[in-house]
Amino acid sequence: TPVIAITSDEKVNPNTRSNLKEVQARGAQTIIITTESLKESDDEIALENVHPLLTPLIMVVPTQLIAYYAALERSLDIDKPRNLAKSVTVE
């Protein structure tokens, strides 16, 4: 099972890392998105440090790219996601 973890807060980072070790012990494949200041040796994606209020904005870019390329790999129509009509009202 793939697990994508985003850790950018120093206070929450130890808890997130602990949870990641738990899911890895159960066989999950993890992708860790973090900032340079919190980067560890096995982290896949480390983004530059920015002002704390801007961190969510830079963290969303890699997750969107992962979703995009995962949909491409599965041959899904990226411009027409399944069940979109159920969540978006068209007038």
Q: What tokens were used for 89?
A: 């009202």
Which of 48, 39, 47, 51 is CA-nearest to residue 13? 39
Which of 53, 51, 44, 55 is CA-nearest to residue 5? 44
Instruction: Kindly report the number of other CB atoms within 10 A of residue 34's CB atom.
Output: 21
Q: What tokens were used for 64?
A: 């969107």
pLDDT for residue 86: 61
Record the pTM: 0.79
pLDDT tens readout for residues 36-76: 999 999 899 999 999 999 999 999 999 999 999 999 999 98
